[in-house]
Amino acid sequence: MKKSKKIKLHQFCLALVVSLWTTCSLGQKVFMGSVDPSLKVDSIEFRYSGDVLGMGRIYSEAPAHYARLESGSFQINLPETPGPSYLLIIPPSGTLQAVKLFRPLSYGPFLMGKGDTLDLRVSGSRISPGPASTPACLLQMQAISLDEERLEEMVRIRVRYNQNDTVGLAQRTRPYLDEIRAAYRGWEAALMENFERYLPMLDPEFARVLRYEQIGRLRNRELGGFRYLVELGPDAARPVAARYYMDSQIGREQDYARSYEGNSPEFASYLNMKAVTDLLVAYSMVQGRMSIEFPPVLDIIARRYQGRTFDEVAFSAFLDRGARKYMDPRTFSVLSSKIGEPQRREYVLKQRSRTSPGNPFFEFEMVDQDGQLVRNSDLEGKVVVYDFWYTGCIGCAVLHKAMRPVKDRFRGNPNVRFVNISVDLDEQRWKSSVTSGTYSSEGDINLWVGPGKDRAIVRHLGINSYPTQVIVDGNNRVVAMNPPDVRTSSQVPGFIEMVERAIEPKM
- What is the Cα–Cα distance from 438 to 144, expressed in whole angstroms? 32
Helix, coil or strand: residue 463: coil
Q: Is the pLDDT of residue 119 over 60?
A: yes
The torsion angle over the Cα atoms of residues 325, 330, 331 and 335, rounded to 10 degrees, is 130
pLDDT in tens, 473-492: 999 999 988 788 888 888 89
Q: At what angle do helices 238-248 and 265-286 cross, to 10 degrees?
A: 130
Strands in 372-491 per DSSP E? 373-375, 383-389, 416-422, 445-448, 468-472, 478-481
CA separation, residue 435 to residues 338, 365, 445, 493 (Å): 47, 22, 12, 29
**Average pLDDT value for residue range 371-376:** 91
**Average pLDDT value for residue range 233-247:** 93
* Model confidence, pTM: 0.77
Sheet arrangement for strand 85-89? 64-68, 43-49, 85-89, 110-112
**Average pLDDT value for residue range 142-147:** 95
The closest of 363, 375, 267, 258 to 305, measured between CA atoms, is 258
Find the angle CA(450)-CA(269)-CA(311) to the nearest 5 degrees.
105
- What is the Cα–Cα distance from 51 to 35, expressed in whole angstroms? 30
- Rounded to a whole number of angstroms, the distance between the first and last alpha carbons of the chain is 84
The closest of 110, 115, 38, 106 to 77, measured between CA atoms, is 115
**Average pLDDT value for residue range 402-422:** 94
Q: Is the pLDDT of residue 507 over 80?
A: no
- What is the Cα–Cα distance from 425 to 477, expressed in whole angstroms? 28
**Average pLDDT value for residue range 210-226:** 94
Would you state the pLDDT for residue 349? 83
Would you state the pLDDT for residue 6? 38
Q: Is the pLDDT of residue 208 over 80?
A: yes
Helix, coil or strand: residue 102: helix
CA separation, residue 20 to residues 23, 132, 207 (Å): 5, 9, 19
- What is the Cα–Cα distance from 438 to 449, expressed in whole angstroms? 19
- What is the Cα–Cα distance from 439 to 402, expressed in whole angstroms? 11
Would you state the pLDDT for residue 23? 37
Distance of CA 182 to the CA centre of its chain: 25
Contact 291, 485 (CB under 8 A): yes
**Average pLDDT value for residue range 400-424:** 94
